[in-house]
Structure 1
Amino acid sequence: MARIVVIGAGMGAMAAAARLAVAGHRVTVFERTATYGGAVGRFERDGFAFDTGPGLLQVPAVHRDLFVKTGKEPLEARVDLVQVDPAARHVFADGTEVSLPNASRAGVVSALDGALGAGAGERWGDFLVRAREAWDRTRRPLLEEPLWADWRVLGEREPYPALRQRRLLRTRTASTLAEVADRELADPRLAALLESHALAYGLDPRTAPASAAVLPYMEHAFGVWYVRGGLRELARAVYERCLARRVEFTFGAAVERIVEKDGRAAGVELAGGTVVEADFVVAGVAPGVLERIGPAAARGADEVPAQHGLPSRLTVHLALRGPRPPDAAHRTVVHTDDRARELACLFGDGSGLPDRPTVTVLRPDDLASVPDDGHEALTLTATVPAYRDAPGGASRDAFAELADTMITRAGRAVPGLRDRVLWHEVRTPRDVAEATGADGGAVPAPALAAAGGRLLHPANTTRLPGLFAVGGWAHPGGGLPHAGMSGALVAGLIVEGPDFRGSQ
């Protein structure tokens, strides 16, 4: 039985802790904040309750596997998991609207043909077939296996089978997601639909590789799910599973230093000077934190560099008078009418916040989120630049002004919205940074192939024996399914050793 210290109580860290405890190890988690869940938080006021992080779940099989492997119990025995239908409603810049059924190719094709014109659905359906091929080629190395030692190979070849087109005596294929949209979808609304999946993860569709096609494919193939009571209930269930497997938690305990002895990780030093010895250390922290507390030997030039400069999210929680209409979509995406401006603000000239951002509106049909059935809880999110303390960085007042703009834009999805507002709460990138420790409140994206490997994440192993990295900032990257898989990978590497070849 090994002594294992886990730094942080995020979703990936807890997934690793539960699996390691089941394998017979003594696991202790030190979390600097007062609670578990990392980015999966909860805000409550006046009987209203809101998820402060992700509001929907994809690829629930990852968490189903966690619960079966750590207790031979289905996930559904611990949380009320429901499939969202429609998966999303989209309101495009020209006023066109479409609701896309959940996990139904035929239904999506029919809906797009009806809303955007004959042929639109077929083009999107054909795109999904090609996206599936990219998924099949990358699923194993990017989600289920430890990062390859020759990880650069993953960045060399584009797995998305882009259509070959002959233009001006030259044969060309799309290499970025924006080029896929332009050359294969042939409709600005389909392009907006495709690019919104990248934007939601803070990726620039103009530079994101064509392999980012796997992002909408994941949603299409595995569906979109909601947990009654909010995604915080999933975090609670994972935390309780850890407790049931005798994982020990200490909250309000900041790790100041990872202790190195005889060339390997040997424990941690807490604020105040207490040293806790361990045979293995698992760090579920953001890159800047690991660089600060980790020994210099933990990272090397031959490893995937940590990603920096990623965008964050601005979230607005709205308490509304009046009940939720029974036909309201759980999720509506209100697309920007100034794509160039939005992308320039997020990824280009740094000229400020987008004037008319793409806004996602979440309207859960969940009485646990409201004081009674005469009210509604609504959450708006937009991708925004991470905050910076340097001159020119967005201030809290600027974010408050953008939040007001988001409410106005959300009115396209929720008629009469402003007249129903009792109060609203704004959660800025600075708040995200305080909760997660990520620089500027940045949010990690899932690992993607191609693009020279720049969208991969550092391996779960480090150059310091005994020290492992877990969570959204390590392989295989951000998002709840990916964080859960990082926990499975770290547990496998510790339990089975360097011969571990991946989850089954």
Structure 2
Amino acid sequence: MARIAVIGAGTGAMAAAARLSVAGHRVTVYERSETYGGSLGRYARDGFVFDTGPGLLHLPAVYRDLFVKTGRESLEECVTLTQVDPASRHLFADGTAVSLPNASRAGVVGALDGALGEGAGARWGEFLDRAGVAWNRSRRPLLEEPLPQDRQPLGRDPYPAVRRRRLLLGARQARTPAEVGAWELADPRLAALLDGYALSYGLDPRRAPAAAALLPYMEETFGSWYVAGGMRALAEAVYERCLARKVEFVFGAEAVGVFEKDGRAAGIELADGGSVEADHVVVGAQPAPGLLPDLRERPERSDGALVPGRFLVLLSLRGGREAGAVHRTVVHAVDPAAERDAVFGGRTAELPTVTVLRPDDPATRPDGEHEAVTLMVTVAPHGPVDWTDAGLRERFADAVIGRASEAVPGLRERILHAEVRTPAETAADTGAQGGSVPAPALAGAEGAFLHSGNRTPLPGLYLAGGWSHPGGGLAHAGMSGALVAGLVVEGDGFRGSQ
């Protein structure tokens, strides 16, 4: 039985901890804050309850596998999962609106044809077919296996872009989501739909590889799921599973260093001056400067781009949720190019893309005569933008509410209270630099959108969670926990789940 110290209590770290404890190891989690869950936070006031992180779960199979492998109770016995239908409603700059059904390719094609005109659905469907090819080519090496030492194969884009002859330019293929939208989708609204997926994951559609097509493919193929009581309930379930498997938690314990002995990780140093010996160390949070010993720390994104964060407006509303209200509505930017320039240039956009989340969940509101609504915007991180500036926060929140008014009838008149959370709060709560939110790993772009491997050059030291392979997002974080557990238990011969 090995002693394992886990730094951080995010979902990826807890997923690793539960699996390692089941394998017979003694696991202790050290968390800098006073609670678990990482980005899966919760804000409550006067009977209103809000998630402060992801609002929906994709690829629930990742957490089903975690619960199957760590106990008798299945995921569905611990939380209530509901597919949201429609999966999303989209309001475009020209006034067009479309609702996309959940996990129904034919339904999506029909909805797009009906809203955007004959042929729009077919173009989107053909795009998803190509995205499915990219998924099949990259799913296992990108998501289910440890990152190999030779990353060159993952530097090639798996998306089979259509070759087109362009006057004077010869044959060209789309290399980015922006080019896929312009050259293959051939409709500014379909292009905005694809751009919106990329942006929601913190990716610049002009720079990310075309393999970002995997993101809408995953959502539209495997569906979008809501956890009753809010997504925080998923973190609670994973935490309870850890406790049931005898994982120990120490809260208010900030790790400031990993020390080594005889050429391998031997424990962690704490901010209070104490230290903990361990046979293995798992870093489940973004490594702060100085935390990792004698390693060449590479940036999370080797292309040098800003890693965005999230701006939230949590609205307590009078008046019940109207019949037919959609769980998730995306109000697309009036000027997508200007928004991208702002977000990835370290500024605020004037009329940003706003995701409006309206869960039909009695647990989120005091009674049926009220509603809890979350507005979410991808923004530049804290640093380039001073998100502690009260005036800026107020102005931007007002602009966001104005945009969301297109999706929620009489929104301004219904507001009882508005709570604003910015990347500055994310940084304080989770320790992520600038409040950035890691994006999923993508193949292509010569490996610029890959993350640090789960196995480090120092024996006994591993990385889990969204800042390591295979990147950010709830499903990806859960996958990282499974990979780390496999590497610890099976050693260097581990090649991923079968």
Q: TM-score range by the shorter chain?
A: over 0.9
Residue 264 of structure 1 corresponds to: 264
Aligned letter for 2:154?
A: L
- 2:399 partner letter: T
Q: 1:80-130: per-residue Cα shift (whole Å, max 9, x none)?
A: 000000000000001100000000011001100000000000000111000
Cα offset, 1:417, TM superposition: 0.4
- Tell me how far apart the structure 2 counterparts of residues 165 and 308 of structure 1 sit (CA, whole Å): 29
Spell out the pairing of 1:7-406 with structure 2 (5 A cutoff).
7-155=7-155, 157-168=156-167, 170-287=170-287, 289=288, 291-296=289-294, 298-299=295-296, 309-348=306-345, 350=346, 352-388=347-383, 395-406=389-400
| Cα-to-partner distance string for 1:244-299 (whole Å, 9 max, x where unaligned) | 00000010111122121111110112222222110000001113x1x322212x33
Q: Is the 8 A contact 1:359 1:409 kept in 2?
A: yes
Structure 2 length-normalised TM: 0.97
User: How far apart, CA to CA, are the structure 1 residues paired with 2:386 and 2:361?
Assistant: 40
The Cα shift of 1:306 comes to: 9.8
Gaps of 5+ in 1: none
Q: 1:494 to 1:306 in 2, by over 3 A?
A: farther
> Against the structure 1 CA distance between its residues 95 and 399, is the aligned structure 2 distance closer, same or farther, given a 3 Å change threshold?
same
Alpha-carbon shift at residue 503 of structure 1 (Å): 1.5
Structure 1 residues 295 and 308 mapped into 2: Cα distance closer, same or farther (>3 Å)? Answer: farther
CA contact (8 A) 1:306 1:458 kept: no
Change (3 A) 1:190 1:255: same
Q: Distance in 2 between matches of 1:354 and 1:391?
A: 11
Aligned to 2:447: 453
Distance 1:292 1:308, change over 3 A: farther
> Is the alpha carbon distance of 1:130 and 1:391 closer, same or farther for their aligned partners in structure 2, counting shifts above 3 Å?
closer
Q: Distance in 1 between matches of 2:281 and 2:205?
A: 37
The letter of the residue matching 1:477 is G
Q: 1:94 to 1:213 in 2, by over 3 A?
A: same
Separation in structure 1 between the aligned mates of residue 81 and residue 387 of structure 2, nearest angstrom: 40
Among residues 470, 490, 496, which one is paired with 2:464 in the alignment? 470
Q: 1:5 to 1:195 in 2, by over 3 A?
A: same
What's the offset of the Cα at 1:307?
7.0
Q: How far, CA to CA, are the matches of 2:393 and 2:200 in structure 1?
A: 18
Give the C-alpha shift of residue 346 in structure 1: 1.2
Query: How many angstroms apart in 1 are the aligned matches of 2:209 and 2:405?
Result: 33
User: Is the contact made by 1:299 and 1:462 (CA closer than 8 Å) also made in structure 2?
Assistant: no
Aligned twin of 2:425: 431
Matching residue of 2:436: 442
- Contact between 2:308 and 2:437, CA under 8 Å: does it hold in 1? yes
Contact kept? 2:321, 2:371, Cα under 8 Å: yes
Which residue identity lines up with residue 98 of structure 1 in the other structure? V
| Matches of 2:105 and 2:398, distance apart in 1 | 36
Deviation at 1:326, TM superposition (A): 2.5
Please say if residues 346 and 353 of structure 1, whose CA atoms lie closer than 8 Å, have aligned partners that are also in contact: yes
Identical-pair percentage: 65
Paired residue for 1:500?
494
- Where in structure 2 are the equivalents of 1:475-490 lying within 5 Å? 475-490=469-484
Give the conservation status (yes or no) of the 8 Å contact 2:300–2:451.
no
Q: Which runs of 4+ in 1 moved over 4 A?
A: 300-308, 390-394
Secondary structure of the corresponding residue to residue 130 of structure 2? helix
Query: CA RMSD, aligned part only?
Result: 1.6
CA distance in 2: counterparts of 1:249 and 1:199, whole angstroms = 35
CA contact (8 A) 1:314 1:399 kept: no
Q: Could you tell me whether the CA contact under 8 Å between 1:10 and 1:39 is conserved in 2? A: yes
User: What is the distance in 1 between the residues matched to 2:299 and 2:83?
Assistant: 42
Answer yes or no: is the 8 Å Cα contact 2:355–2:375 preserved in 1. Answer: yes
* Alpha-carbon distance in structure 2 between the residues aligned to 1:275 and 1:113: 62
Separation in 2, partners of 1:278, 1:308: 36
Distance 2:395 2:351 in 1: 12
For the Cα contact (< 8 Å) 1:15–1:238, is it kept in 2?
Answer: yes
Matched positions, count? 497
User: Are the aligned partners of 2:176 and 2:209 in contact in 1 as well (CA < 8 Å)?
Assistant: yes
**TM-score (normalised: structure 1):** 0.96
Contact 1:100 1:111 in 2 (8 A): yes
* Change beyond 3 A, Cα 1:372–1:393: closer
Give the Cα–Cα distance (whole angstroms) in 2 for the partners of residues 245 and 392 of structure 1. 42
Q: Are 2:300 and 2:467, in contact at CA under 8 Å, matched by a contact in 1?
A: no
Q: Unpaired runs of 5+ in structure 2? A: none
Alignment-mate amino acid for residue 362 of structure 1 = L
Q: Is the 8 A contact 2:146 2:483 kept in 1?
A: yes
Does the C-alpha gap of structure 1 residues 488 and 306 become closer, same or farther in structure 2, counting only changes over 3 Å?
A: farther
Distance in 1, matches of 2:404 and 2:473, equals: 24
Secondary structure of 2:377's match?
strand
Does structure 1 retain, via aligned residues, the 8 Å contact 2:302–2:449?
A: no
Structure 2 CA distance for partners of 1:98 and 1:305, relative to 1, 3 Å: closer
Say if 1:466 and 1:56 are closer, same or farther in 2 by CA, change over 3 A: same
In the aligned structure 1, how far is the partner of 2:93 from the partner of 2:493?
Answer: 52
Question: Is the CA contact 1:281–1:466 (under 8 Å) kept in the aligned structure 2?
Answer: yes
Residue deviations 1:458-499 (CA, integer Å, cap 9, x gap): 000111111100000000000000000000000000000000
